[in-house]
């Protein structure tokens, strides 16, 4: 590898071939303008010196940066925050395998993220975007669709009342079927003899949260149990809040949404909540089967069952969907496609 200081330049190639810089440029970009034997001499010098036209110069010609943009969310702490970081690792690997890089930026909210899109697009620094954390009333996808900017989201569009809803649903996305995950978890617990597993979820208002709750309710209903009669707890995504809520539920205290008695098993919307549920049961010396969500490193470390998202597959498909738009030929981009991936139930015994 040549060093940054002595690498070949247009000037050194021109000198080696005994031609002008313009002739080198023509040989590379408009070879028809160059006499055959001159062309041969220039290309031999290019090959011998290992000359590579700079990216900045190539970009001016191809209008392609081979770079994908992604907003890196602020570090929020918490056990489940690592899910998007794991997706990022998979995305960078996948993009690199396809010859693309990932450039990161931050923003405080949707409008800040849209402002960054504008900056990156107008300066030609990205070919498209990957979006994470789709949510009710997402302003980002409508903005990108209006401008025909290539993008794909990890997370489906969550319907919400609003005029742009139908438009913004029609784009490329990859998501994981959360309901299928909690349904499998609940069915596993019912098969193991727990008549009415409880649900420990988040407060209303999260599309992801409602999806995960749905799978639990579906599995109960299929087993002939009215979800309204089972224990349901709603707490913020913190282990401490989960400890408190589950302690109350196991003690027969109020606080549970449903009318059931003390649960013997609980399906959780996250591993943070699962950790709290297990802590509460251990402290009270009560048996409680717990299944979390996201299969975080902590679930693995302490032996809690959990629902694993196929993050590698999600990243591969997101890059596929995005690059199909970026690299679309003369016939224009393909119609939007969507992938809803099945999660996997990972069963563990306590260590």
Q: Which stretch binds its own copies (CB under 8 A): 3-11, 34-42, 191-199, 250-258?
A: 3-11
List the Cα angle 203/313/106 in 5-degree steps: 60
Nearer to its own copies, 126 or 174 (CB): 126
What angle do helix axes 139-146 and 110-122 make, rounded to 10 degrees? Answer: 30
Residue in 136, 80, 91, 145 with CA at minimum distance from that of residue 110: 136
For the chain, report the end-to-end CA distance as a whole number of angstroms: 50
- CB of 51 vs its own copies, minimal distance in Å: 10
Dihedral angle computed from the Cα positions of residues 211, 175, 202 and 291, in that order, rounded to the nearest 10 degrees: 90
Q: Which SS3 state, helix, strand or coil, does residue 142 take?
A: helix
- CB of 264 vs its own copies, minimal distance in Å: 22
Q: Does 54 bind its own copies (CB under 8 A)?
A: yes
What part of residues 285-324 is at the interface with its own copies (CB under 8 A)?
Answer: 297-298, 300-302
**Structural contact between residues 291 and 342, judged by C-beta atoms closer than 8 angstroms:** no
Region of 235 please: left (phi>0), alpha (psi -120 to 50) or beta: beta
Instruction: Check the CA dihedral 162-166-167-171 and report its sign.
Output: positive
Nearer to its own copies, 39 or 84 (CB): 84
Nearer to its own copies, 71 or 194 (CB): 71
Q: Which of 21, 29, 33, 147 binds its own copies (CB under 8 A)?
A: 147
Q: Does 109 bind its own copies (CB under 8 A)?
A: no
d(CA 66, CA 51): 20
d(CA 303, CA 305): 7
How many binding residues for its own copies (CB under 8 A)?
A: 66
**Structural contact between residues 197 and 186, judged by C-beta atoms closer than 8 angstroms:** yes
Q: Which SS3 state, helix, strand or coil, does residue 326 take?
A: helix
Q: Which of 121, 139, 262, 341 binds its own copies (CB under 8 A)?
A: 121
Q: Does 105 bind its own copies (CB under 8 A)?
A: yes
Per-residue x/- marks for its own copies, 62-91, CB under 8 A?
A: ---x-x----xxxx-xxx-xx--xx-xxx-
Nearer to its own copies, 86 or 156 (CB): 86
- CB of 31 vs its own copies, minimal distance in Å: 22
d(CA 192, CA 189): 5
Q: Does 20 bind its own copies (CB under 8 A)?
A: no
What part of residues 227-256 is at the interface with its own copies (CB under 8 A)?
Answer: 238-240, 243
Q: Which of 35, 44, 104, 192 binds its own copies (CB under 8 A)?
A: 104
- CB of 179 vs its own copies, minimal distance in Å: 26
d(CA 314, CA 278): 30
What does the binding site for its own copies look like in residue numbers (CB under 8 A)?
Answer: 1-5, 7, 52, 54-60, 65, 67, 72-75, 77-79, 81-82, 85-86, 88-90, 92-93, 96, 101-106, 114-115, 118, 121-125, 146-149, 238-240, 243, 272, 275-276, 279, 283, 297-298, 300-302, 351
């Amino acid at each position: 590898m040549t060093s940054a200081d002595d690498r070949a330049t247009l000037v050194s190639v021109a000198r080696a071939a005994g031609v002008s810089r313009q002739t080198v440029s023509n040989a590379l970009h408009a070879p028809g303008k160059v006499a055959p034997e001159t062309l041969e001499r220039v290309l031999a010098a290019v090959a011998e010196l290992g000359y590579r036209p700079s990216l900045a110069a190539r970009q001016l010609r191809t209008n392609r940066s081979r770079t994908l943009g992604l907003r890196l969310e602020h570090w929020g702490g918490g056990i489940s925050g690592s899910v998007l970081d794991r997706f990022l690792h998979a995305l960078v690997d996948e993009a690199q395998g396809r010859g693309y890089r990932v450039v990161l930026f931050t923003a405080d909210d949707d409008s800040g993220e849209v402002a960054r899109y504008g900056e990156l697009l107008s300066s030609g620094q990205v070919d498209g975007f990957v979006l994470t954390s789709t949510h009710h009333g997402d302003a980002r996808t409508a903005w990108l669709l209006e401008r025909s900017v290539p993008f794909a989201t990890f997370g489906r569009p969550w319907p919400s009342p609003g005029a742009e809803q139908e438009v913004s649903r029609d784009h490329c996305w990859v998501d994981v079927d959360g309901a299928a995950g909690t349904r499998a978890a609940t069915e596993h617990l019912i098969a193991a003899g727990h008549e009415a597993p409880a649900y420990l979820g988040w407060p209303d208002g999260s599309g992801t949260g409602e999806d995960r709750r749905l799978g639990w309710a579906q599995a109960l209903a299929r087993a002939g149990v009215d979800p309204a009669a089972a224990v349901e707890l709603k707490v913020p995504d913190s282990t401490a809040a989960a400890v408190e809520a589950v302690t109350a539920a196991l003690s027969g205290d109020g606080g549970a949404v449903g009318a059931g008695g003390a649960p013997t098993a609980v399906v959780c919307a996250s591993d943070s909540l699962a950790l709290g549920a297990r802590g509460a049961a251990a402290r009270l010396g009560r048996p409680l089967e717990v299944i979390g969500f996201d299969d975080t490193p902590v679930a693995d470390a302490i032996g809690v069952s959990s629902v694993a998202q196929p993050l590698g597959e999600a990243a591969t498909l997101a890059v596929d969907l995005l690059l199909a738009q970026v690299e679309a030929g003369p016939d224009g981009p393909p119609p939007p496609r969507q992938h809803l991936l099945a999660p996997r139930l990972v069963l563990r015994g306590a260590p």
